[in-house]
Amino acid sequence: MSCSKTKQKGGSRTYCSAVNCSNSKGSHPELSFFRFPADSKRSKEWVILTRRQDLQNKTADYLYRNCRLCAIHFEDCMFISHLKNRLNPQAKPTLFDIPNPPPTVGQKRRFVERISTSDEDIVKEKRRKLVADVEEQSSDQARMMVDHNPVIVIEDNITGLQDHQEDLQEAKTAEFCGQTSSTLTTNTPRKKRQRKVIEAKNKKISRLNKKLSKVIRNKKTQKSALDDALKKLPPHLAGFVKLQFDLHAAKKHGRRYSPEMKSLAISLFHASGKAYRLLSKLFILPTRSSLRNYISKMPTEAGISQATINTLKQKVSQMSDMEKLCSLCMDEISLKTHLFYSIPKDKIVGLEDFGGGYRTNKVATSALVLLARGISGNWKQPIGYVLVNGACPTDILEDVMKEALDKLQQIGLNVLVVMSDMGSNFHSFANRMGVT
Main-chain phi, psi angles of 350, to 5 degrees? 125, -5
Residue 141's pLDDT is what?
47
Distance CA 83, CA 74 (A): 13
Q: What is the mean pLDDT of the chain?
A: 78
Q: pLDDT at residue 368 above 70?
A: yes
Q: How far apart are CA 78 and CA 263, in angstroms?
A: 87
Question: pLDDT value at position 8?
Answer: 41
Predicted confidence band at 327 (pLDDT cuts at 50, 70, 90)?
Answer: very high
How confident is the model at residue 104, as a pLDDT? 66
pLDDT reported for residue 65: 92
Confidence at residue 121, expressed as pLDDT on a 0 to 100 scale:
53
The C-alpha atoms of residue 273 and residue 193 are separated, in whole angstroms, by 66
pLDDT one-digit tens code per residue, 116-162:
444 445 445 544 554 455 455 444 443 444 344 433 333 444 444 45
| Cβ–Cβ < 8 Å for 176, 106 | no
Please say whether the beta carbons of 57 and 89 come within 8 A: no
Res 10: pLDDT: 38
List the single range of 98-102, 206-210, 223-227 with lowest mean pLDDT. Answer: 98-102
Give the tens place of pLDDT for each residue, 186-217.
778 888 889 999 999 999 999 999 999 999 99
